[in-house]
Amino acid sequence: MLAIEFAGVVVFAVAYRSLDHYIYWLGGQAIMDGARLYQERLAGLWFTNTPFMAVLSMPMAALPLTVARTAWQLASVAAFAWACVTTLRLAGRRPSRSTVTAAVALGFLLEPIWHSVFLGQVNLFLLALVLTDIRRVSQGRAAGIGIGVAAAIKLTPAIFIVLLLAAGRVRAAVTAAATFVLCATAAYAVAPDASRLYWLHTFYDTSRVGVPYISNQSPYGAAVRILGGVDGVGAWFQVVPIAAGICGLAVAALWARRGDWLSAVAVTGTTGLLVSPISWAHHWVWVVPALAVLLRNGNRRSALAGYLLFLLAVPWWTPRDGGPDEYGFHGLLTFAANGYLVAGLAFLVHMAVRLRGTSGWTAATPERQATVTARPVGWCDRG
């Protein structure tokens, strides 16, 4: 099955102009032209990523579009495969060829994964960067650069810097923050006008994207749809992402301090989706480590339910034409329309409740053993 999927990706990359990758490609061309990157639409859409992402796209923009897109999609597949390998290792499994093949093949059937490839999105690279860094942390090794780069590309991974701080890995957190600043500074050196416009105005402007669109599976997106539009959501809503962030990070930090970094990364990734005002369906690639946690813990029914939810992409089957059935509350239909959000909330509650019933993850894995060996006393990061 994986061979068929891989062949499909190659044919698709050659034949189809993935929209978001096209925006990246155009952004790499526009970054040197003052503030045009954020002042003009590219292919009919605004460039909403960071200036650093545009700078990284410059070499790609120098290639013919088809060549650049094909290379990007093949690299995306490799990044996802690496993310699956790293997830298996964090779960205490030795990733054999058959296990990795099955994980990648089944993972590609999940809507956030294939949707990221369909659009040519950067999500799979971010997943791989963060998971790689978290595994290094679990082994007691120097870490932080991957998370810092991921945050500089797309701001939401910055929540993992907070996780590192909350888990007592101060040096890794400082490394990640410094990497983020260095990347942003490098982008400023290349494109000062675009950088000033982005950091002073654009990065918090949600009017540039369609917040009510069904693909936005964040609490804010759900509130906008249920309350009839952006104007229906008052200032009170600011409490929601703050509360979600505090609760989610507290749960993640507790798991991290127990040595279960797979649970910590899955909870943090989910929390980031709940905190952000825009969490498109293809941003939910964090379902992969979340499903791995459920399977490792023996929660097979929950894992199967979650897999089917993201396999069938339930929200896309509900009304999404801006009509009366999409807005307002319609019982089970509304829950289905916000299925990813509901699943994310349920996962956080499950992981919080599970904290009460376990004293920690005691599986004899290389990651666990490295953590114990590296940190016989305390959790203050020293290396």
* Residue 383 counted as domain residue: no
pLDDT level of residue 234 (50, 70, 90 thresholds): confident
* Residue 276 counted as domain residue: yes
CB 20, CB 280: distance < 8 Å: no
Percent of the chain with pLDDT over 90: 75
Q: Assess whether pLDDT exceeds 90 at residue 223.
A: yes
* Residue 379 counted as domain residue: no
**What would the pLDDT profile of 351-381 be if each residue is shown by its tens digit?**
999 998 765 554 444 444 444 333 433 333 3
* Residue 380 counted as domain residue: no
**What would the pLDDT profile of 290-347 be if each residue is shown by its tens digit?**
999 999 999 999 999 999 999 999 999 998 887 788 899 999 999 999 999 999 999 9
The two tokens of residue 353 are 């409740």
Number of domains forming the structure of the chain:
1
**What would the pLDDT profile of 152-193 be if each residue is shown by its tens digit?**
999 999 999 999 999 999 999 999 999 999 999 999 999 999
Please tell me what DSSP assigns to residue 285.
G
**What would the pLDDT profile of 52-110 be if each residue is shown by its tens digit?**
999 999 999 999 999 999 999 999 999 999 999 999 999 999 899 999 999 999 999 99
Model's pTM, two decimal places?
A: 0.91
**Crossing angle for the helix pair 159-166 and 239-257, nearest 10 degrees?**
50
* Residue 38 counted as domain residue: yes
Lowest mean pLDDT among 34-43, 244-253, 304-313, 345-354: 34-43
**116, HSE (Cβ side, Cα atoms, 13 Å):** 27
* Residue 318 counted as domain residue: yes
* Residue 56 counted as domain residue: yes
* Residue 266 counted as domain residue: yes
Written as one string, the DSSP assignment of 203-271 is GG-GGGS-TTSTTB-SHHHHHHHHTTSGGGS-GGGGHHHHHHHHHHHHHHHHHHHTT-HHHHHHHHHHH
Average pLDDT over residues 197-214: 81
The domain of 109 spans: 2-205+212-374
Average pLDDT over residues 190-198: 92
Q: What pLDDT is recorded for position 371? A: 42
Q: What pLDDT is recorded for position 358? A: 67
Q: What is the dihedral of CA 109, 114, 115, 117, to 10 degrees?
A: 180
Q: What pLDDT is recorded for position 359? A: 59
Average pLDDT over residues 232-244: 92
